[in-house]
Amino acid sequence: MNAQLTWDAVLANKALIGGDIESQEDGVAYRGPIAEIKVEGDSVRFNSPWCARMNPDTGEWEKWHITTSSVSKSMVQPQDIGDGRIFFQMPFLGVCTIFPNGGSKLDTRKVKGLPKDSERFLALFPDLRFDRAIAEKVLVEKSFSRAAESFKDKPADATLQDLLGCFKHDSQAEEFLWHYVEAVTGEKEVHQKVY
């Protein structure tokens, strides 16, 4: 397909938020989810809550410390390469592909040093209070019966961390947190957040 795009069209494309951005520079790949795309002067900046770097020696993904990247609007032209993907070349650096939300994603479980999904989600709500009654209601209403059974034996002063330890899989703890946060805060669609 390789249709030319404008950066304005890229910035207006809300389907890119929550998708992944992958760059390849000097034979090394970097990848992470897109939380925000914004213009700063002549630059388009991509912000991610985390980034991974593929170790060229082992081929394994490792958590990386740089979580932003930018490109010059006037020097680089984005291209539509199909399936919602956007491609551009960065002079003297390498190439970059943006995958839309719902497209190709890096499996977070394969990134060494990256906190679990439930921990990254919970970090978005640093002031979240723990309400045992609400937590127990969510456990029952959303059919987390195994965790509910395990949690009922915990002492009255049990914490949210105690409850999360009752889940066998982190994906279940993460899903519980989505429902719990919505019940406590009234916020909707929290599972759509980029973390």
What pLDDT digit, counting tens, does each position of 57-87 carry? Answer: 999 999 999 999 999 999 999 999 999 999 9
Q: Name the average pLDDT for the chain.
A: 95
Claim to verify: residue 16 and residue 40 sit in the same structural domain: yes
In a domain, 56, yes or no: yes
User: Which of 86, 107, 128 lies at the terminal end of a domain, its last residue?
Assistant: 107
Claim to verify: residue 74 and residue 135 sit in the same structural domain: no
pTM: 0.86
* Mean pLDDT within 133-138: 98
Model confidence band, residue 50 (pLDDT cutoffs 50, 70, 90): very high
In a domain, 182, yes or no: yes
Claim to verify: residue 135 and residue 160 sit in the same structural domain: yes
In a domain, 29, yes or no: yes
How many domains in the chain? 2
Angle made by CA atoms 125, 31, 11, in degrees to the nearest 5: 75
* Mean pLDDT within 3-13: 91
In a domain, 194, yes or no: no
Claim to verify: residue 30 and residue 75 sit in the same structural domain: yes
In a domain, 174, yes or no: yes
In a domain, 153, yes or no: yes
Question: 41 lies in which domain range?
Answer: 3-107
pLDDT at 1 over 70: no
